[in-house]
Amino acid sequence: MSSRSSCASIFLIAELVLLLKMLAMASSLTLDEEAQLFRNERNDLIQLRDSLSSTMSLHSNWTGPPCYNDRTRWFGITCFKSKVTGVSLAGIQLTGSLPLAALQNVLHLTRLNLSDNALHGALPSLQGLRHLQAVSFAKNRFSGPIPAEFLALPNLSQLEFQDNVLSGTVPAFEQQRLAVFNVSYNFLEGRIPNNSVLQGFPSSSFDHNLGLCGRPLKKPCFVAAPPLSPPVSPVGNNASGGPSFAATSSNNKSLTHWMVALATICFIGLAFMVTVCFVYYLKRYTKKAKQKEDGDLEIEVKSSQSMPGQEKKALDLMFVDQERAIFDLDDLLRSSAEVIGKGNLGNTYKATLESCQVYAVKRLNTMNGMSKKGFLQQMQFLGRIKHDNLVEIISFHYSKEEKLVIYEYISGGSLFQLLHDNRGEARMPLKWSARLSIVEGIARGLAYLHQCMPSHKVPHANLKSSNVLIARWSHYTNFQPKFTDYGFYPILPSTHTHRLAIGKVPEFSQGKKLTHKADVYCFGLILLEVITGQAPSDGEENLPGWVKLVINNDWSTDILDLEIVSEKESHADMLNLTQIALSCTDLDPEKRPAMSQVVSRIEEIRAANIEIR
C-alpha cells in the first residue's frame, strides 16, 4: 500500500520535472526569439543612424540598447514596454538618404517624424509597419514616387509629404482614420483619386504641384485617367498633324520640367548661401556675446569673493606640521580668493596669499552638530597620512561658525573636468593610456587608504570624479591623480552623510551596514565613467545596469567613449577594465573585490599596455 503510493508519487514527480523542463524549453525559445527581434530592431536603427549625419551627433548618442527598462538614452526615440514606438528626428539638419528597407524591423513603430531636414533620395517603403499612425517626411528633398506600400498601413491617421520633390501620382489612400494629409509643394501629377477619404481634404493639401487635378483643387481633369492607361501611340494620318503636336507637347512638358528643376536648383543654392551667411554671423555674434558674458561673470566672482568670515576676528589655524605654520588665519582672510568648486559639503576656494603661496581652502557649510574634538582629532589623523595619490592636508580651523580645511593646491583640475569639459569643441581627447594610468593611481591611493585606516568603516566615502584632482607638470606627460574630500564620514552628522558619494551605494539606501566595499563601489562608478565618457547624473539612472545589459548583448564596444573607440588595439584591455568595473559595482558588497586585488588586476592590464608600445 505504502510502496504503491510512493511509487505513484515518484511518477508524479517525474512528470512534474518533465513538465517543468518543457516549460523551461518553451520559454527559452521565446526568449531567444525575443532577443533576435530586439537585435533586428536595433540593427535597423543603427543602419539608419549610419546612413545619416546631423548637427545632433547621433553616432555618439545612439549606442547601447535603444530601450532600457522603458526608458531610453537615445535622442528622438520613444519606448513602450521595451519596444521602440517612436522615431522623431525633426529639424536637426539631417542629411543623407534613407535605406529603402529602413526601419522594417522596428515592428512596433507608431510615429515616424523626419520633417524639416535635408534628406534626399527615395522614400522608404515602410512595409509591414502595421502600427504606424503618424508619418511625416515633410520639408525635405525626397524624390521619386510615393510608395504604394503605404496603402497597406491600416492605422494611418497623419501623413505628411509637403515640400519635397516627389513625382508620380497620388496613391488612392483609403484609411478611414486618415485625418491629416498633405502632398502640397511637390511635383505630382494626374488625377487625385476619387474616393471619400482623399476628396475630404482641402485644396491646400494638394496645391503647388506640377499637374494634379480633381475636385479638391476645383480643377477638372480633361483626359480620362491619363496615368492609368498607357498613352495611345498615334497611328497613321501624318497629315492631321496629331503626332507632331503630341511630340511638341511632350517636348514642352520636359522643357517645363527642366525649367522647374533649374529654378529649384537656383533657389536651393540661393537659400543655402543665405543660410550660411546667416549662421556665420549668428555664430560670430553669439560668440562675442558669450565672451562678454563670461568676462563679466569672472570679474563679478572675483570682486565679490573674498575669504569667508572676513569681519570676524579669527581664532588659530591648527597645523599638521608645525614647520609649515608660516601663515595664519588673518593671512588667509586677507588673501585673494576664487571659488574653484561648489560641492555638497561646501565651497572650495583657491586662496593666493600675499606671499604668493597658493592653497585650496574647503569651507564646510552648515555642519552644525559636528563635534570640535572629533573634527580636530580626525584632521590631525588625516593630516599625517601621506601618499602620492592623496591631496595633503596642511591645516584646519574650527570655530562655531566656520570649519575650514586647508589643502595643498593642485592646479590640473579634476578628473571630471578632464573627462567632460569642452566636449564637442576644441578639446584634447584623453587617450586610453592616460586614462589607464589615472585609474591605476586612484586604485593605489584607495588601497592605501583602506590599508592604513582599517578601523574606519568607509575610509574615503566621498570618491567621485570631481574629487579626484589631477597633478600635472608641463614636462611630464603622465597624470597623477590625487583624492581630496576623504575621511569625512565619521565626523559628519548622520543627517549629512547622504551628501557624500556613498549616498549612491545600494547598501546605503537600503540602510544596511557600510564597509570598505562602499568605496569599492564608488571606484567602480569612476571606472565606468572613464570607460564610457558618460558624466554621472544626479538622477536614479543606473550606469552599471546599462553597461551590463550592453555587454551581455555583445555590443560591448558600444559602451566605449567615442574618444577612445579608435584605439582598436586596446579594445580588449578596455573590456577587461569594464569587467573589473562591473565586479566593483556588484550589488552584493561581499562579491566586490578588495582594493588590493583591484590594483593588481589593473597593473596586469597596464603592464601589457606598456609592452605593446
Ligand X SMILES: *[C@@H]1O[C@H](CO)[C@@H](O)[C@H](O)[C@H]1NC(C)=O
- Contacts with ligand X, residue ranges (CB under 6 A): 61, 63, 73, 75, 90-91, 111, 113, 115-116, 130-131, 134, 136, 154-155, 158, 160, 162-163, 182, 184-185, 194, 202, 204-205, 236, 238
Smallest distance from ligand X to CB 469, Å: 26
Give the orientation angle of helix 517-532 with respect to helix 595-612, to 10 degrees. 30
Q: Three cell numbers at 79?
A: 519606448
Q: What is the Cα–Cα distance from 524 to 532, expressed in whole angstroms?
A: 12
Which lies closer to ligand X via its Cβ, residue 72 or residue 335? 72
Query: Is 546:412 a contact under the CB 8 Å cutoff?
Result: no
Which lies closer to ligand X via its Cβ, residue 91 or residue 545? 91
Smallest distance from ligand X to CB 220, Å: 8
Q: What is the Cα–Cα distance from 236 to 240, expressed in whole angstroms?
A: 9
The secondary structure of residue 147, as a DSSP letter, is P
Smallest distance from ligand X to CB 160, Å: 6
Smallest distance from ligand X to CB 296, Å: 28
Q: What is the Cα–Cα distance from 483 to 356, expressed in whole angstroms?
A: 24
For the chain, how long is the longest CA-to-CA vector? 119
Residues 6+ apart with CB under 8 A from 358: 350, 351, 352, 409
* First CA to last CA distance, the chain: 79
Smallest distance from ligand X to CB 133, Å: 7
Which lies closer to ligand X via its Cβ, residue 147 or residue 412? 147
φ, ψ dihedrals at 518, nearest 5°:
-65, -40
Smallest distance from ligand X to CB 247, Å: 9
Which lies closer to ligand X via its Cβ, residue 144 or residue 154? 154
**Residues 38-52 as b or e (16 or more Cβ within 10 Å = b):** beebbebbbbbbeeb
Smallest distance from ligand X to CB 334, Å: 45
Q: What is the Cα–Cα distance from 365 to 460, expressed in whole angstroms?
A: 19
Which lies closer to ligand X via its Cβ, residue 48 or residue 337? 48
Burial class of 569 by CB neighbour count within 10 A (0 to 12, 13 to 18, 19+): exposed
Q: What is the Cα–Cα distance from 363 to 358, expressed in whole angstroms?
A: 16
- Distances in Å between the Cα of 520 and the Cα atoms of 517, 524, 544, 561 are 5, 6, 13, 22
Which lies closer to ligand X via its Cβ, residue 90 or residue 370? 90
Which lies closer to ligand X via its Cβ, residue 77 or residue 404? 77
Smallest distance from ligand X to CB 180, Å: 6
Burial class of 87 by CB neighbour count within 10 A (0 to 12, 13 to 18, 19+): buried
Which lies closer to ligand X via its Cβ, residue 161 or residue 479? 161
Smallest distance from ligand X to CB 98, Å: 16
Helix (H) or strand (E) holding 286: helix 242-304
Which lies closer to ligand X via its Cβ, residue 204 or residue 600? 204
Which lies closer to ligand X via its Cβ, residue 308 or residue 533? 533
Q: Three cell numbers at 367?
A: 555642519
CA dihedral 279, 282, 288, 290 (to 10 degrees): -100
Smallest distance from ligand X to CB 52, Å: 15
Smallest distance from ligand X to CB 159, Å: 8
Q: Three cell numbers at 240?
A: 492631321
Which lies closer to ligand X via its Cβ, residue 61 or residue 305? 61
Helix (H, G, I), strand (E, B), or coil: what is residue 178?
coil
